[in-house]
Amino acid sequence: MTDRPPRPPRAEPREIAELRQLKDAQPELAAAVDMQIALLEMQRRVQARVPLPWISLEPEQLVALQAAGGRLVRFGDIPLDWTDFRLTFRQTADILRRFDALEPEDYEQLMGLVREGNQIESIVERWYEATSGAVGADAAGRAPDGLPASLDQVLVLALRPFLARSAEVLAQRVDVSGWNRGHCPFCGWEPDFAVITPGGDRRLVCGRCTAQWTFGSLTCPYCANDDLARITSFATRDGRYRVYGCDVCHRYLKAYDARNASRPAMVGVDTIATLPLDAAAIQRGYSG
């Protein structure tokens, strides 16, 4: 008898295991789940090799920046290795293309940006500065003319492992509990998900660096509307998820309700599990 027992499979991160279960339970989400697994595995690999960022601001400068409503992560403080960033950008675009989330023409054009010289470096810096809530930033001028709108999606995903590392380090140095704005205290981007904590607070999750911060439970983070009569909120039948629609700016936000949940929030899973809710929100006239 020389047969060895089969080697047990390597333990997967819980998020990936949950995504596989989601796919079994809701086969209609299979393609979205597979794309998410590919993106998460790629980002995890990159983030593991991103060095600890050097934060050049003194604690009192961070406090002052925060008081002025500015983002805490300055572009120069992101531990960006350009060779690694190019690779991450290419791999992100490859995954999106493979799952038809990126048009072939856009894909070709975006790949051109990382092939030719150093132009991607200035594009990323300009895009970050224009979208990070820095003083004088103008999000409309975030990219040079002629580049596809899908550049945003690729940059958000490709920058995430580098930016998340900066936010992680800063979160240990700066108290953001007093932050009461709708944009991310670390990178200035918008929330794209929320978590209702067991204590009933609502924490917003940044759509770019994935940092979280507490925000008024029934205030719209996009336009600051806090008139209860103009916020429409509805839950899924199982009570696991909730949608807040704002009847002033007509945008919506999805949330995981951890109050009676069997597991903690997992944003990488919950954003995919709630894709059917996007359709429901859009049908009611809201936009993402």
Whose Cβ is closer to Zn ion: residue 26's or residue 233's?
Answer: 233
255 neighbors 242 (Cβ within 8 angstroms): yes
Residues 6+ apart with CB under 8 A from 101: 35, 153
Residues 6+ apart with CB under 8 A from 90: 111, 114
Contacts of range 25-34, beta carbons closer than 8 Å, 24 or more positions apart: 26/273, 29/272, 29/273, 29/275, 31/99, 32/272, 32/275, 33/272, 34/99
Please report how close the Cβ of residue 207 comes to Zn ion at its closest, in angstroms.
8
Please report how close the Cβ of residue 5 comes to Zn ion at its closest, in angstroms.
46
Please report how close the Cβ of residue 40 comes to Zn ion at its closest, in angstroms.
17
Whose Cβ is closer to Zn ion: residue 92's or residue 219's?
Answer: 219
3-state secondary structure of 73: coil
Please report how close the Cβ of residue 143 comes to Zn ion at its closest, in angstroms.
19
Please list the residues that pair with 255 across neighbouring strands.
194, 242
Please report how close the Cβ of residue 287 comes to Zn ion at its closest, in angstroms.
11
- Contacts with Zn ion by CB under 5 A lie at 184, 186-187, 189, 206, 208-209, 211, 220, 222-223, 225, 246, 248-249
Please report how close the Cβ of residue 232 comes to Zn ion at its closest, in angstroms.
11
Residue type, 228: L
Residue 160 parent element (H or E): helix 151-171
Whose Cβ is closer to Zn ion: residue 23's or residue 251's?
Answer: 251
CA 160 to the chain's CA centroid: 7
Whose Cβ is closer to Zn ion: residue 37's or residue 184's?
Answer: 184
Whose Cβ is closer to Zn ion: residue 94's or residue 226's?
Answer: 226
Q: Measure the CA–CA gap between 279 and 287, rounded to whole angstroms.
A: 10
Whose Cβ is closer to Zn ion: residue 206's or residue 243's?
Answer: 206
